[in-house]
Every structure is written in structure tokens, then in C-alpha cells.
Amino acid sequence: PGSASGGGGGRKVFIQDSSSPEEHTMGVWDNLVAQSAAAEIYLLAYGNGAVLAKDVLIRQLARSKEREDEVNRIVAVACIESSSLLESDDAKDISDFIASRFMDWEQTEFPEGFLVSGTRVKLGCVALSVGQMGADETRNAAWSVGRAMPSVFRFYDYAVQHSGAEGPIGVAFAREEALVHHLDPATAVSPAPAEAGAAGDGAAGAAAAAGGGADGKRASSRTKSPGMLSGMLRGLLGRSRGEGSGVGDHDMDRGLTVNDFDLLKVVGKGAFGKVMLVRKKSGSDGGEVYAMKVLKKSMIAAKGQVEHTKAERSILCEIRHPFVVCLQYAFQSEEKLYLITDYYSGGSLFYHLRKSRGFSENRAKFYAAELFLALQHLHDHHIIYRDLKLENVLMDHEGHIALTDFGLSKNQVDDVFESQLTTFCGTAEYIAPELLKGQKYGAAVDWWSFGILIYEMIGFRTPFFDKNRKLMFYGIINNEPTWQPHFSASATGIMKRLLAKSPTRRLGSGAEGANEIRNHKFFADIDFASLLVKTLKPPFKPDVKSLTDAKYVPKTYLNDTAQDSIDKSAKKSTNVDFEAFTYIPSQQGHLD
């Protein structure tokens, strides 16, 4: 990603806006397609490319605030073998558009042209069957593409002819398509699946995996990069693992395995797996308690998140800071990845804010100061965090905080304050206006989210929140926050500067960089040198009785059994070997 051979001699040439598949897609959209005079745009998305098509839709909805018909330039979106599209917190305008103009084609046991039942939950749109390959053929993803294309172009033609029709275009088109295949539209419908995830090659099961932060309350709008090229190549070349390498706990690194730990409790769940409280069985740290983050490779591959996962591991290996979670080990089995970090028994700031119904200004200031030092350290080491929210801030048993979850972070950014990134990602309430406008951005997006977080801690809500996401995004771009009467002048002052709509005018983006924030009068009574070495007493100490105390873990997680279960959704063709994933601190350096 980011370069290609050219100019003779096989020399690598940098390609702007192409450090990842999603960045390339959004760069092409923002700089070429959206800027063109095209009145009718048709999108074709393979696999998890459908999620990028959805992100394009979200950007066009944001642009519609300024140009009303901007979103209507998208006439139709055809998806092939899409794993998921619809999320539970999607705004109505997003789900309505997906229902009306998106359509999916997938390989099933039913005849070509059959309407596939049970897809509305995971996709939000109509799906048609392309039939099924012969029993003697190796499953080939490219086969689905070739099979679907004639129908896709008929869909495009139908969509433009019926662009003014009411209701979902896909429903009416499915009836027409049944006739093309000499089927009765009334009966060419697959039976409804017996349970979620029963239909569609396991895709629904993958889509049903838990998401969100440590407390599962607000899910990130994570941009997923499509696995189109790798998936098609695997199919075209017929590459798969042998029969002897099925689901199991085979260690690929000949180092640590999950069997080196006692599995105590489930303390969290995420998009790709779960987090367990564990105890190391032996070694110099035998008896130590850690948090084990278990990630399913099949889910990571299906969601196109391989590169993001590698980046998260890389960041955790490199960074050592008092207010960033500390990675102790990393290893993998054939089906899963394991990240072992310190266990933060105090819960998340999200939990404590809801429990307290708002923090005092002094308490909020303490957490903000520690977070500031963490973000400054990341920026100094060429990392833009991109997903700051209360759910991603953990608390230790003393009351100090630590930043966690680097799944959306961008590392190896030469100049973090140069506006050069284009990936649309983050959590809706915290997203900076430049992202919603489709502009390139830099580290100033972290300082915007930092301002939102300070407001939320003191005001007990985010400043632009609205149940209608479209209205919330409009407010982020156009409105000023309501400054509550109990905010001090210095608190209001720093938030106004951090929430400047223009990133170049935002506090932390000037000539002095992050020192603009450190030197603001809001932090005048904070001794940052003492704070860094944790000699300042936290304003709150969690009531933790032991190293394994799970008092601040949501009860829904604790009810689950702590076990390294078999990944039933894993397929031999999707197993991925994450090269050099293993991490042993004594053998590798880090950035202090």
C-alpha cells in the first residue's frame, strides 16, 4: 500500500492517498468522483467493499447539508457477497437509503434469481441468489462475481428508469429478475433461516459479533478495507489450507500459547472477539494477572481489518507510557490472535461518568491532563489515535487512567499535523467537522475529540448529540455548543479553542503544538512533571478488593464462561498468518 513500481528499474513511487485500500477509495471518491459533474453514479462493491460504499453514502449525506441533491447522485449500489452493512445505531436516513438503492448478490444453495430471505437484518437491503457452484468445484469467490454481473447491470438499468418510484427499488427489481430466469416471483423466495447466521455462507454469524467499546455502548464507525484482491486471488488460484489444518489451537509461533494462562473471567467483548481476565501459570511473572484480548482471524479477514490489526499490535509494541495500556505479550494460534496487556481493574471512564452522572471540574481536569500527556506522546511518535472516547479510557486500581484500543490508529505518519489522511473513521459523537466535510485531516482530529470528551465529563453529555445522526453531523459542522452555566471561564475557554471548526485554528495546531494546550489556564494548577510519574493523587480511587476484582465489569460479560472456544465461523480459506506477530518484551525495543 502507498507505493507502486514505476519510472523504470522497478523503483517504488509514492502514491498519494493510497496507504490503505480504504484511504485509496476515499481519496478517489473525494478528489475525483465527488468533484466531477456526474449526475448519475453507480457503485459496485465486492465483499467488505460494501462497507466503503456505505461510508461514501454517509459522506454524501453530509454534503447534502450544503447541496440538497448531492446524495441523489448515487443511483444504485450493487454489492456482491457482502458480509454486513446495517448497524444497530445507523440513522434512519442511512438505513432508508440502503433499503431503497442497495442490492446484494450472494452464492446460496437456491437457484439463480431466488430472493434470499433473512438478509434484511445484516444487510438492510434485498439479496438475490446467484446459485451454487458444482459439488466437485473448489469454492471460488470470482465465480460469484462473474455470475452476478449480468444481473447487476440489469439492476443499474432498472434503477435509473425507476429513480422516482416509491419504496425499495430492490423489491420490485427482484420480481422482474425472477421472470428473467423463468421463475414465478411469488414462489422464487428462499425459506427463512431457522436462526440468525444460518444463511449466506456464515456471513450473518460474522455480522452478529459483538461490537463497541469496553462497555459496549457506542460502536465506532470503523471503516473496513475490502479484502477483494486477496479473496479473488485465493479463489482464482484455488489456494486453501490442507484438510489437516482445520480449527484448533495449533501454535504458529512456537512460543506462548493460551494454555500458559489460567482463564478466570470474561471482562469485555469487541467486534472481533472477547477480553478475558487471566493469570500466568509459570515463568518469572507466574501468578501475575493480565487481560487477554482474543481476536478471531476469520472475523478480522472478513471485515478487511488485517492491516489495522497489525498496526494496533505494532503501536502497542512500540509505545511505553504511563497513560497508555501496556502490552506484555502477543502470540497467535491458527485461528486467533492473542494480545496480553496489564489488567485495569478500575473499569472505564464511561462507566464512572454514568455512575457519577457527571464529574466535578477538578476530577475531569485530572483525567484530561493524563489523557493530554498520552495523546501528546502518540503524536510525538507519529501516531494519530482517531477514536478518543470515554469507553477507550480505562482506570487502574489507584485511579490513574490509560488509553486503550488502537484499532483505528494511524501510525508512521511523517507529519501528524499535515492534513493528509482521508479514512472516515471514529465514533459519531466525537468525529471532527473536517472528516464530515470529506476533507483531508491530521492530528487536530484528536484534539477535537479531546474537547468533546472534556465537555462530556463536565456536562454529562456530548455537545452535539442528537438521536438523528444526520442532525448531529449537521450540528458538528455548523453549530456552536451550548455552554452550561456551571462551566468555569477557563473550562469554557479551552473547550472553545479545542472545538474550533477550522483545524488550523484549533488549540494544539499552532506553532507551539501541544504546548498550547498544556499552557492553557485551564491546566494552570496541574504539575505535569509530577503527574507523569504518578505522584499526584487521583481525585477518585476505585473500590478494588483484589488483583482479580471485576466489580467494574458489566455483569453481562461476567455471566459468560471464560474459555478459548472453537471459532465455528473460521474457514480454512480465511486463516491468515500474521507474520512476526509474536511479542516478547525482553527481545524487542519500544518507544519511551
The one catalytic residue in 17, 30, 387, 567 is 387
Phi, psi for 560 (deg, rounded to 5): -80, 150
**DSSP-assigned states of every residue in 51-108:** HHHHHHHHHHHHHTTTSTTGGGGEEEEEEES------TT--HHHHHHHHHHEEEEE--
Helix axes 92-101, 49-63, angle to 10 degrees: 120
Contact 149, 46 (CB under 8 A): no
Nearest Cα residue to 403 out of 386, 427, 419:
386
- Report the C-alpha dihedral over residues 363, 364, 369, 371, rounded to 10 degrees: 120
Q: How many CB atoms lie within 10 A of CB 416?
A: 20
Distance of CA 431 to the CA centre of its chain: 13
**Catalytic residue status for 527:** no
Contact 331, 297 (CB under 8 A): no
Contact 371, 323 (CB under 8 A): yes
Q: Is 293 annotated as a binding residue?
A: yes
**Partners of 12 in the β-ladder:** 5
H or E segment and range at residue 367 = helix 361-380
Non-local (6+) Cβ contacts of 76 within 8 A are: 42, 43, 101, 102, 103, 155, 156, 159, 160, 169
Contact 313, 548 (CB under 8 A): no
Residue with cell 449500489: 77
Contact 449, 426 (CB under 8 A): yes
Output the nine-digit C-alpha cell for 125.
437491503
102-106/126-129 β-pairing: parallel
74-80/102-106 β-pairing: parallel
Contact 385, 378 (CB under 8 A): yes
Distances (CA, A) of 394 to 326, 342, 542, 586: 12, 11, 12, 26
Q: Tell me, what DSSP letter sits at residue 556?
A: H
Amino acid at site 444: A
Return contacts of 415-421, CB within 8 angstroms, 24+ apart.
Answer: 415/442, 416/379, 416/382, 416/383, 416/384, 416/442, 416/443, 417/379, 417/442, 417/443, 417/444, 417/509, 417/513, 418/442, 419/503, 421/23, 421/384
List, edge to edge, every strand of the sheet that includes 74-80: 41-46, 74-80, 102-106, 126-129
Distance of CA 151 to the CA centre of its chain: 32
Supply the residues annotated as catalytic: 387
Give the residue numbers of the binding site: 293
| Residues tagged in the binding site annotation for ATP | 293
